[in-house]
Amino acid sequence: MQDSRPLIELRKVTKVYGSGTAAVHALRGIDMQIYPGEFVALMGPSGSGKSTCLNILGCLDTPTSGQYLFQGLDVGRLSRNQRALLRRYCLGFVFQSFNLLNRTSAIENVELPLMYRGMPARKRHMLARQALRQVGLEGWEHHRPSELSGGQQQRVAIARAIITEPLVLLADEPTGNLDSACGIEIMELLMGLNRDRGITIVMVTHEPDMAAYAHRILHFKDGLIDGQQKKEAAS
């Protein structure tokens, strides 16, 4: 049963880059509610505002106006350090380009967020091994990114994102650099994390077949949410 209170809520959020005649209105006053345990895809053409929206949800950018509420907390009232703590403890990130450190092993990449928390090395190693096992990479702990396929690199990135047990996983074109077979594997993995661990997922994609894995698809156009599609619940 869906929680009656949104985990994430945007109220009349705008984002303007630049000023005067050079101003770019990336978001034009969007309203959004995302509930615990949902899997939501954001779709739209380039420049429609979907990636700007994801950056705001991830506290990587701030709205020009409007409110961003996380578990009812007004994120706009937080200091920069408080927003950093929200990112560190509540949010996980998966990017199109993987963003792995090339000179370090898979296990070292995965445990990096726990280093920032000051966790002892032995516990970090244990949790990183568990996370790699959960994404199907047991036995690949000491391989560097250059020794892994694109699909395997994205699995390492997902393990790094989930090792902190985030409430929300934010994925920006997670299959954009993968062939279709690897893309399906990654989407099956994300769907399993959502279903089995209850992680709320918000994903930007331009691929309709990947968006189809989500419970809801929000369509962006010209800085606004232009409509949505809901997946029919299984009987």
Do 154 and 98 contact (CB within 8 A), yes or no?
Answer: yes
Rounded CA-CA distance 99/109 in Å is 10
Task: Tell me the HSE value of 79 on the side-chain side, using a 13 A CA sphere.
Answer: 2
121 Cβ contact list (under 8 Å, min separation 6) = none
Beta strand segments in the chain, E: 8-17, 24-34, 39-43, 65-70, 73-74, 91-95, 168-172, 200-204, 216-221, 224-230
**Does 86 score more than 80 pLDDT?**
yes
Domain range 8-99+166-230, CATH class: alpha beta
pLDDT classification of 116: cutoffs 50, 70, 90: confident
Rounded CA-CA distance 156/129 in Å is 11
Beta strand segments in 35-164, E: 39-43, 65-70, 73-74, 91-95
Indicate the pairing of strand 65-70 with strand 73-74.
antiparallel
Taken as a whole, the chain contains a residue count of: 235
Give the pLDDT mean for 67-74.
97
Rounded CA-CA distance 45/47 in Å is 6
Give the pLDDT mean for 135-144.
96
Percent of the chain with pLDDT over 90: 93
* Per-residue pLDDT at 87: 93
Domain boundaries, the chain: 8-99+166-230
Percent of the chain with pLDDT over 70: 97
* Per-residue pLDDT at 2: 55
**Does 1 score more than 70 pLDDT?**
no
The one-letter code for the residue type at 33 is: Q
User: What integer best gives the mean pLDDT of the chain?
Assistant: 94
